[in-house]
């Protein structure tokens, strides 16, 4: 299939996606549930544009809600054992970032917070401290940010990795001011122990000369923010303990950080000395292994599956589709920006050493152009967040859906049902809640479904 044919197919798929999205009546909450083949527990939701972190049971009932978390900037909420919750809070408009990270106990008491990264001026002219956190954060004692046997997160002495913004001019990168991506690692007391700035390493990201030229003219400068979000890194995760490092591969040192650039379509591992030591993309035509994977576009939540889970050591990533990439000019992207286009999503599991595509999921009408993620479960299933539509599904290795949940749309200011990311946790991590009764949900045949 040539490039023009690919673009035409993408446009047709996009039109079909719009037709599906135009549906005005559809079921919400749990729509499919097979208790015998699911990994049963609570699911933590990070809805967009709400004031809360929400926990549901397998039947979609809300069993716990923590108020006081404003997630309009996007980012994951995580629940630790004994019902401790941690999430971002506060909006630094017009920037897509949060003012602070907060940790609360089960009753909502603040246990820890961080905001002292940078002082900023608000629209009203006031000066405030801000974490400038966006998209992701991780605890050192919880490397992938989700449950795996043998890992018990929540220690008060754990370091925290935060993905933040830094605005500055970098003439060797682009003609406009950058809204750059900056990683910081902070101590429990909030001291910055380590930092990494993306633009310092532009020569290590695998960009072609054409890509560098496309970036230099700063396509897509955000007028409201007055800056160029050139990489739009949307996840940053500790590599964590893994078999590759145990075998002597220093690239996969547990303290290294794996990042995902949505806008440039690459995934990379950053070592503690700042160097990029492993990379996937941006050009997936460079080898037969990459051609077998096919082009990854606009991806989110790239991470190494933790020890103790099926597929441990492999890379798991939500390959969104949509549009991204620099330097591959075509009639649909004559300036070489957003060169790749695809109107469907995939979840990919990749061996990071051999680059073998181990497993993938791309079910029918499966598409989220932004946000989203995936979690490997202890029974080998994968919990997938199709974020833009507020749809979560647990799929088996064979691709069968054994649990499906649709987050409801509310009227008024919160007119979206988007869920940034969802995570499954064991029942005993919320010991103050009585374990719910699990009831199977078998949907009617679609051809027979009628609204009364």
Per-10-residue mean pLDDT, the chain, length 452: 39 40 78 98 91 94 92 87 94 87 96 95 85 96 94 87 98 98 97 98 98 97 94 98 98 98 98 98 96 98 98 98 96 95 97 98 95 98 96 98 90 69 98 97 89 82
Predicted pLDDT at 13: 38
Q: For residue 75, which of 118, 137, 129 has the smallest C-alpha distance?
A: 137
- Number of domains composing the chain: 1
Q: Is residue 31 part of a domain?
A: yes
Q: Please name the residues in contact with 107: beta carbons below 8 A apart, sequence gap of 6 or more.
A: none
Q: For residue 190, which of 116, 128, 102 has the smallest C-alpha distance?
A: 116
Coil, helix or strand for 176?
A: coil
DSSP label at residue 309: S
Q: For residue 368, which of 383, 384, 348 has the smallest C-alpha distance?
A: 384
- Rounded to whole angstroms, the Cα distance separating 189 from 30 reads 41
Predicted pLDDT at 5: 36
Share of the chain above pLDDT 90, in %: 81
Place of tokens 């064979």: 398
Q: What is the DSSP string of 338-384?
A: EEEEES--EEEEE-TTT--EEEEE--TT---SSS-EEEE-TTS-EEE
pTM: 0.93
- Burial of 128: CB neighbours in 10 Å, binned 0-12, 13-18, 19+: middle
Q: Is residue 450 part of a domain?
A: no
Predicted pLDDT at 11: 37
Enumerate helices (H) and strands (E) in the chain, giving the number of each: 4, 29
Q: Is residue 236 part of a domain?
A: yes
Q: What is the dihedral of CA 61, 67, 70, 74, to 10 degrees?
A: -40
- Rounded to whole angstroms, the Cα distance separating 125 from 361 reads 48
Structure tokens at 200: 């310092």
| Bridge partners, residue 347, by sequence | 318, 361
Structure tokens at 85: 């919750």
Q: Determine contact, residues 151/308, Cβ cutoff 8 Å.
A: yes
Q: Please name the residues in contact with 410: beta carbons below 8 A apart, sequence gap of 6 or more.
A: 417
- Could you report the per-residue pLDDT of 277-298, keeping only the tens digit for each? 999 999 999 999 999 999 999 9
Q: Is residue 449 part of a domain?
A: no
- Output the CA–CA distances (angstroms, integers) from residue 102 to 74, 364, 420, in the order listed: 14, 38, 17
Domain span including residue 429: 3-444
- Could you report the per-residue pLDDT of 191-215, keeping only the tens digit for each? 999 999 999 999 999 999 999 999 9
**Residues of 39-53 as b/e, b for ≥16 C-beta within 10 angstroms?**
bbbbbbbbbbbbebb
- Burial of 190: CB neighbours in 10 Å, binned 0-12, 13-18, 19+: middle
* Beta strand pairing call for 98-104 and 78-80: unpaired
- Output the CA–CA distances (angstroms, integers) from residue 14 to 53, 84, 341, 418, 446, in the order listed: 32, 41, 10, 19, 23
CATH number, residue 370: 2.120.10.30
Q: Is residue 451 part of a domain?
A: no
Q: Is residue 452 part of a domain?
A: no
Vertex 368: Cα angle to 363 and 369 (nearest 5): 135
Q: Is residue 219 part of a domain?
A: yes
Q: Determine contact, residues 142/127, Cβ cutoff 8 Å.
A: no
- Rounded to whole angstroms, the Cα distance separating 178 from 228 reads 5
Stated as kind and residue range, the H or E segment containing 212 is: helix 209-216
Rounded to a whole number of angstroms, the CA Rg of the chain reads 21
Predicted pLDDT at 201: 98
Coil, helix or strand for 169?
A: coil
């Amino acid at each position: 299939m040539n490039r023009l044919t690919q673009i035409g197919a993408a446009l047709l798929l996009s039109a079909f996606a719009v037709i599906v999205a135009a549906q005005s009546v559809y079921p919400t909450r749990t729509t499919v549930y097979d208790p015998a083949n699911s990994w049963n527990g609570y699911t933590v939701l990070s809805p967009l544009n709400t004031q809360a972190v929400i926990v549901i049971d397998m039947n979609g009932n809300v069993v716990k809600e923590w108020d006081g978390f404003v997630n309009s900037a996007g980012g994951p909420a995580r629940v630790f054992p004994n019902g401790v919750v941690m999430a971002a809070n506060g909006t630094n408009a017009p920037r897509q970032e949060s003012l602070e990270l907060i940790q609360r106990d089960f009753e909502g008491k603040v246990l820890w917070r961080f905001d002292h990264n940078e002082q900023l001026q608000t629209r009203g002219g006031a000066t405030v401290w801000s974490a400038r956190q966006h998209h992701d954060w991780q605890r050192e004692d919880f490397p992938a940010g989700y449950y795996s046997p043998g890992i018990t997160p929540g220690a008060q002495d754990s370091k925290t990795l935060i993905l933040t913004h830094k605005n500055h001019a970098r003439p060797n990168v682009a003609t406009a001011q950058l809204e750059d991506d900056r990683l910081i690692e902070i101590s429990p007391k909030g001291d910055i122990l380590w930092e990494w700035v993306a633009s310092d390493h532009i020569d290590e990201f695998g960009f072609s000369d054409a890509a560098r030229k496309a970036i230099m003219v700063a396509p897509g400068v955000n007028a409201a923010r007055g800056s160029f979000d050139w990489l739009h890194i949307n996840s940053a995760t500790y590599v964590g303990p893994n078999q590759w490092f145990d075998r002597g591969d220093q690239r996969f040192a547990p303290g290294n950080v794996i990042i995902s650039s949505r806008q440039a379509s690459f995934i990379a591992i950053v070592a503690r000395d700042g160097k990029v030591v492993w990379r996937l993309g941006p050009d997936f035509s460079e080898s037969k292994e990459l051609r077998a994977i096919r082009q990854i576009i606009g991806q989110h939540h790239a991470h190494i599956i933790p020890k103790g889970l099926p597929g441990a050591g492999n890379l798991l990533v939500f390959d969104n589709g949509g549009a991204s990439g620099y330097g591959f000019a075509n009639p649909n992207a004559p300036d070489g920006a957003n060169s790749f286009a695809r109107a469907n999503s995939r979840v990919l599991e990749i061996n990071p050493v051999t680059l073998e595509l181990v497993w993938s999921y791309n079910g029918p009408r499966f598409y989220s152009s932004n946000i989203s993620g995936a979690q490997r479960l202890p029974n080998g299933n994968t919990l997938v967040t199709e974020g833009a539509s507020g749809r979560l599904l647990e799929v088996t290795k064979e691709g069968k859906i054994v649990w499906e949940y649709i987050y409801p749309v509310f009227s008024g200011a919160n007119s979206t049902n988007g869920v940034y990311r969802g995570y499954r946790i064991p029942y005993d991590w919320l010991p103050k809640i009585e374990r719910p009764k699990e009831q199977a949900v078998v949907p009617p045949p679609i051809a027979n479904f009628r609204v009364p």
